[in-house]
Structure 1
C-alpha cells in the first residue's frame, strides 16, 4: 500500500517507504505463512465450511439457494470430493490430527452443505480458484497463502502509515499489540475473518490521520489504503457496515474537529466514499436476498434477557483471552502469563489514552468501545434464545484493533515524549513477538500430539507426535522465526527515529531502511 507520489503542500519528501512496505509485507507473510503450513486441514475454526464455499464460488456457484444445510442455515455446493472430510479431533484437545483424512486429489463433484454458503462471494472468488484446480494439499495451501498475502499487504500498509504519520512511531507499537496470535492464525486460514481483522487495522490506521491530521490536502496513499480496506470491510462479513459506521461516527464528529468538510471537497475522496457506500448497499442487499442474518439454530438457551446480559458480561473474560489466542478450534489455551502480558500492554494503551486525551479523544474512544463491545454483546443477548452463545473474541478484533491504534495516536499526541514512546514500542517487540512464536509452537504440539496433561519443556516438542504438517514441522518454525525477526527488527529500527519535537504532522524523511538486512 506504499506510494511514491510527489509530496503535497506541507509534506516533505519521504524516501524509503516502499522498502518499508516490502519488508513489513514479507515479515507478516512469513508469520502468517508459518501458520498456514503448520495447520492440519480444517485446523482453524470453520475452515472446511469456508473451503467448500470458496470452491463452490470458484466453480461458478455464486448464489446457491439458501437451505438448511447446516444447523438450519447455509447452502449446498458441489465441490471436489477431495475437499469433503469429516471431523474427528476438533474439540478434543488430547487427540492429535492423525485420525483425520487429509484433503485429496479426487475432483469428482459431490453435493455438500456449508454454513458459509450464503456469504458474500468476493473473498471466496479470490482465494477459491486453487481449490478447484488442485483439490488436495496443494490447492488448500495455496488458497491459505493467498488469504495470508492479502492480510500481509493490508498490515504492511498500516505499518507504513504508522511510520509516516505517527509522530513518535508509537502507532507501530499499537499495531504490534493489535496483531495478536489469534489474528495471525485467522489470517493464515481460508476464512474471511482473518482478512477482515487486517482490513480493520489498515482502515483505522489510514482513517485516523486522514480525518484528524491538519495537512492542507489529503495524502493519496492514505486514501488508497482507506479506500481498499473500506471496500473489503463492506463485503467480507455482515459486521462490516457496523465497523464502517463506528469509524465514521468516531472520527468525523465533532465536525469542527475533524477534516471531513475539507476532505469532501476533494474529488478522489468523493469517489472512494461513493464506492464504499455502493459496496455497503450491495452487501446489505445480498444479505437480504440470501438471508445471511439467519444464523441457524445452535441450541438456544432458556434465558431471560436479563440473565443473558449477565452471562454475556461474564463471558468477556474468555473473549479477551480469545482475542489474544485460544487457538486451534478454541481448544488450545496458552499459559496464563501470555494473556496477562498481552492484555496489560493493550490496557495500558487504552487507559493511558483516556488519561492523557482531551474530551474529544475520550468521546472517540467511547464510540469505538460501543461499536466494538456494547453492540456485539447486545446482539448476542438478543439472539441467545435462537443461537445460544456463539460470539467469539476474534469477531471484535477489527474494531478493537482500531481502538488500540487510536489510543497509541492519542498517547504520543497528548502525553508521551519520544524517549518513552521508543521504550514502549521496544517493550512491545521484546514481550509480544516471543509470545507469537510460543503460541505457534504450543498449537503445533496440540495438532501433532494432542495437549499433554502436564506441560513441561519435554512435552513442548513441535517435532514429536503422530501427525506432522505436509511440509514438515521445521518449515513453519523457520518461517515464523524469520518473519518475527524481520518485523521486530524493522519496528525496532524505525522506533529509533522519532520526529523532532514540533507541532508539525509526521513526515519521516529520515527513514531510509538499508538495502540489505537490518542493523
Structure 2
C-alpha cells in the first residue's frame, strides 16, 4: 500500500506536462504500429487522390513548391518528377471497382528515374505537409520510396494522435475525455493516416490542438506545470493552419469550443504567460502563412469536377438530406469510395458516437452544451453551405472525410464536457468496459481484414472469405502476417486502454482510508475516479 501511495503522490506532484509527455510515449508505439500496418495492407495509390498527393509531395521535396498551372477552375498543375512517379496513377487501376483486385497494378519501375512532366490536382495545395512526407523520395526510388513516404506520414500523424490521447488521459477527471479520444480513432482515421494525403494530418492536429488546449486551460492557475502542453498547442495549431484549404475553419472551431467551455479567464492567463504568448504568436504566424499561400496559390482553384445545372438552393437541401449518408466517411470507407465498412463496424461506431453526442447534449447546465450545439450545427450545415457554393462549377464533390476533422472535434467536445459526470465504477462498470473495448478491437480487426479481402480477392456478391487463402494479390509480408500483427497490437492497446480508463476504479477511497499515512491523497483519489 505504501508503494501505491508513493506512486500516487509522485503522479500528483509531477508537472502535468511531464505526465502528458510520458503517456504520449506509451501510446505512440501502438498508434504508429496500427498506422504502419495499414500502410502495408493498402495497395499503393488505393486511397482517394493518393496519386495526385504523391506527385505533389515528390515535386515539393525536389524544390517545386507550385509548378505551372492555369487560371481556370480545375486546371491541373504541371511539375517535373521521376518517370515512375509520373506514371504512379496506373497503380490505382482498382479504384471505384470493388470487384477488381490489386493484382491489376503494374510493377513500379524504380530505375525509370529520369525527370518528365506530370500533372497533379494538388499542385496549389499548401506545401508544408508535402515537404515532410516527400523527403524519402530524395534518396529512395520505386516502391521503397513510396512506402517510406507513407511511413513518414503515418509516424507524423501518430505523433499528434498520441499527444491528443495523452492530453485527455492527463486531465483531472480523465474517464470521459479519454473515452472520447479513443472513440475518435476510427478505422477511417488510421486508414487515412497510413496514406500520402494531408487529410489525416488535419484530423489529428485538430484533436491535438483542442485537447492540449483544454489541458492548459484546466491548469491555468499553474501554467508552469503545463508548459509541454502549451508547446503542443502552438505546434499543433501552426501545422493545422497549413494542412488543407479548410483547416483554418477547424482551427477556429477548436479554439472557440475550448474558450466557450472554460471561459475567458484561462485564456487571459495564457495571454499573460510568456510561453503562452510565444505559442500564440506561433499559431498566428502559421495562420498568416496559410492565408498568404491561399491568396498567392489560389488553392481552391485546384478543385475539379463536372459542372452541374443544379441550383445552389437545390444543392443545399439535397446535402441536408444526405447528412447521415456521409457518416461512413467518418467510420470507414476504403478504396476510391467504393467499399464502405461492413454493417457491424458501422453499427459499433454509430452507437459509440450516439452515446457521447447524446451525453453531451443532455448536459443541463454550463457553457459546454453551447459548444456542443454549435459544433453539431456546423457539422450539419457546413457541407450544404460549402457544396452549394461550387455546385454549378464542380457538381457534387463532397466526401465524408472532408468533414472528419470537425466531426472528431464534436466527439472530443462531448467527452470534455462529460468530465463533470462521475465515471462508471464497480465490477459491473469494469465488465461493461471490458466488453466495449473488446467490441472496439473486434470492429477494428474486422475492418482491417475486410480491406484485405477487398484487395486480395475483391468484394464479390457471394461470400469469398476462404478464397483469401488462395488470393491473386498479396501485400508485403502477406495478408495473414499483417492481420495477425494488427490483432496483437490491438490486444496490447486494449490492455493499455483498460488501464487508462478503468483500473483506477479498483482503488476506492475506502481502500485508501485504511492507511495511516493517507494524508491529502483522498481528494486526488476522488478526482481520479471521476
TM-score scaled to structure 1, two decimals? 0.89
Counterpart in the other structure of 1:63: 66
Larger-gyration structure (1/2)? 2
Instruction: Decide which moves more: 486-495 or 419-428.
Output: 419-428
- In terms of fraction of residues, the more helix-rich structure is 2
**CA distance in structure 2 between the aligned counterparts of 1:102 and 1:208, rounded to whole angstroms:** 48
RMSD: 2.8
Counterpart in the other structure of 1:516: none
**CA distance in structure 2 between the aligned counterparts of 1:160 and 1:506, rounded to whole angstroms:** 20
1:162-177 paired onto structure 2 within 5 Å:
162-177=168-183
| Cα displacement (A) at 1:35 | 0.8
Instruction: Decide which moves more: 177-186 or 100-109.
Output: 100-109
Q: SS where residue 229 of structure 1 aligns?
A: helix
**CA distance in structure 2 between the aligned counterparts of 1:289 and 1:207, rounded to whole angstroms:** 31
Cα distance change on mapping 1:255 and 1:150 into 2, 3 Å: closer
- Within the candidate set 334, 345, 352, 1:345 is matched to 352
Counterpart in the other structure of 1:94: 99
Instruction: Flag structure 2 segments of 5+ consecutive residues without an equivalent.
Output: 1-8, 510-521
**CA distance in structure 1 between the aligned counterparts of 2:233 and 2:431, rounded to whole angstroms:** 29
**CA distance in structure 1 between the aligned counterparts of 2:282 and 2:21, rounded to whole angstroms:** 26
> Does residue 1:178 correspond to 2:184, yes or no?
yes
**CA distance in structure 2 between the aligned counterparts of 1:402 and 1:392, rounded to whole angstroms:** 17
**CA distance in structure 2 between the aligned counterparts of 1:359 and 1:55, rounded to whole angstroms:** 49
Counterpart in the other structure of 2:396: 389
Q: Could you give the per-residue CA deviations for residues 488-510 of structure 1, whole angstroms, max 9, x where no partner exists?
A: 111111221259788779986x9
1:25-424 paired onto structure 2 within 5 Å:
25-67=28-70, 72-83=74-85, 84-85=87-88, 86=90, 87-105=92-110, 106-212=112-218, 215-217=221-223, 219-253=226-260, 256=263, 258-414=265-421, 416-419=423-426
| Cα displacement (A) at 1:192 | 0.8
Q: Could you give the per-residue CA deviations for residues 385-432 of structure 1, whole angstroms, max 9, x where no partner exists?
A: 211221211121212212212212222313544458766654542212
Instruction: Indicate the structure whose relative CO is greater, using CA pairs within 8 Å and at least 6 residues apart.
Output: 1
| Cα displacement (A) at 1:124 | 0.8
TM-score scaled to structure 2, two decimals? 0.87
How many residues are treated as equivalent by the alignment? 500
1:203–1:230 Cα contact (<8 Å) kept: yes
| Cα displacement (A) at 1:458 | 3.0
Q: SS where residue 79 of structure 1 aligns?
A: strand
**CA distance in structure 2 between the aligned counterparts of 1:254 and 1:170, rounded to whole angstroms:** 15
Q: SS where residue 76 of structure 1 aligns?
A: strand
Counterpart in the other structure of 2:441: 433
Q: SS where residue 125 of structure 2 aligns?
A: coil
Instruction: Flag structure 1 segments of 5+ consecutive residues without an equivalent.
Output: 1-6, 511-519
| Cα displacement (A) at 1:364 | 0.8
2:261–2:371 Cα contact (<8 Å) kept: no
